[in-house]
Amino acid sequence: MGRVKLEISISLDGYVAGPSPTLEQPLGEGGEQLHEWTIRLAGWREAHGLTGGESGPEDDRARARIEATGAVVMGRRMFSGGEGPWQDDPNMDGWWGDEPPFHVPVFILTHHPREPVVKQGGTTFTFVTDGIESALEQARDAAGAKDILVAGGAMAAQESLQAGLLDSIQLHVAPVFLGGGVRLFDGIPSGGLELVKAYESLGVAHLEYRVAADRQTGGTS
């Protein structure tokens, strides 16, 4: 059975988005810096319908993660592009365009029920109103033997971690301070993880953790 993985880029001061997000700048002030390393990768660009980019070991790893992913779970903010009145617009398809980069079923945590949206290139958006456990259950059915990616934002990450539903956490720590915004780890109950590996690549620190069995209550392994 596939594993449930949180993968997310954070700042040195622990933010996944900077202050004052807008529809034009959904990651807040400076937030785009968190993702500069990944935008350089050929595999990421390919998934986004772009050409060019760098190959090499980090690109290989990124491609392998994409290939291993059978379904994605994300929060409403990540779907709709930041916090704002537009995010309750039932016709809002998110800021992911006509051919989103996921190419697999995506489950959106929201309080607003709506019909699924089928996009080009294999991405479907399904809206889940009954919580993270339900979203992960649906994602697991969709993913088959592949992994389920919890892609953010902070609330989806915190909920899945606190509910004991994660098998692993992959953090990409960008070498920037955002000085404010949305913190990834806020109010997480105390306890330990197991560091599997840590390395530098493209100027970013990549940290991979296994979630200890005693943090897992959801029977995900």
- The reply to whether 25 sits near a second copy by the rule CB under 8 A is no
In this chain, which of 39, 60, 129, 199 binds a second copy, going by CB under 8 A?
A: 199
- The reply to whether 27 sits near a second copy by the rule CB under 8 A is no
Q: What are phi and psi of 63, to 5 degrees?
A: -60, -40
Distance (Å) of CA 115 to CA 65, 83, 86, 120: 29, 21, 17, 16
Calpha distance 153→9 (Å, rounded)? 10
Q: Sign of the CA dihedral 144, 147, 148, 151?
A: negative
- The reply to whether 179 sits near a second copy by the rule CB under 8 A is yes
Q: Which residues, numbered 33-92, are part of the site for a second copy (CB under 8 A)?
A: 33
In this chain, which of 60, 98, 141, 186 binds a second copy, going by CB under 8 A?
A: 186
- The reply to whether 95 sits near a second copy by the rule CB under 8 A is no
How many other CB atoms are found less than 10 A from the CB of residue 131? 12
What is the β-pairing status of strands 147-152 and 69-75? parallel
In this chain, which of 16, 117, 128, 176 binds a second copy, going by CB under 8 A?
A: 176
How many other CB atoms are found less than 10 A from the CB of residue 168? 18
- The reply to whether 214 sits near a second copy by the rule CB under 8 A is no
- The reply to whether 29 sits near a second copy by the rule CB under 8 A is yes
- The reply to whether 200 sits near a second copy by the rule CB under 8 A is yes
**Under the rule (CB under 8 A), what is the footprint of a second copy?**
12-14, 18, 29-30, 33, 173, 175-180, 183, 185-200, 203-207, 209
